[in-house]
Amino acid sequence: MDEDDKVYDLQTETLSGDVRDALLTHVRDMNVGWKFLSEKEQRDKIYAMTRCAETLVRQTINLVSNFEFPNLSVEVGVVKIDKALEIKLGALTTIQNITHLAEHGKSRAVLVLCDPEVFFGEQAPAEPDADEPALPLDDAA
């Protein structure tokens, strides 16, 4: 299974611990400490943990939004504005999506427009330590 497709066991009551445990799997797999990894090995770890964080964000948003109500991940298509607002939505044909729609029927629903990628930002990029650190400059001249 590709790391991007990995499914973590997240529960609402233990969410912070579940996220911590998923991230810890990457640290526990390390044979040596961070400072002993090469720059490439650190870059690979950063990549793996970034993908893990993105997957966790997607699953967390799904878990939280599905806490009380079923949900569908949809793509907004044509929007028609007349006497009413008409929106064409597209969704993956999964058993879960079909079941949710069948159980919900034609009753009213609330559509929350949220793209999980909104939460993929960072305060600063994660960078590996250089294999060859820069030499200190002699400022005592």
> 106-130: per-residue pLDDT in tens?
888 877 777 777 777 878 888 888 8
Q: Is residue 25 part of a domain?
A: yes
- Answer yes or no: are the C-beta atoms of 91 and 75 closer than 8 Å: yes
78, pLDDT greater than 60: yes
1, pLDDT greater than 50: no
Distance CA(8)–CA(56), nearest Å, equals 7
Total structural domains in the chain?
A: 2
Indicate if 39 and 63 belong to the same structural domain. Answer: yes
Helices then strands, each counted (H, E), the chain: 3, 2
pLDDT of residue 138: 62
- pLDDT above 70 as % of the chain: 94
| pLDDT mean over 31-37 | 91
Give which of 1, 16, 10, 4 is closest to 48, Cα–Cα. Answer: 4
Indicate if 6 and 55 belong to the same structural domain. Answer: yes
pLDDT of residue 93: 92
85, pLDDT greater than 80: yes
- Answer yes or no: are the C-beta atoms of 130 and 38 closer than 8 Å: no
pLDDT of residue 141: 54
DSSP state of 37: S
pLDDT of residue 123: 82
For residue 62, what pLDDT band results from cuts at 50, 70 and 90?
confident
134, pLDDT greater than 50: yes
Q: Is residue 134 part of a domain?
A: no
Indicate if 22 and 61 belong to the same structural domain. Answer: yes
Distance CA(69)–CA(108), nearest Å, equals 13
15-28 and 39-65 helices cross at what angle (nearest 10)?
Answer: 160
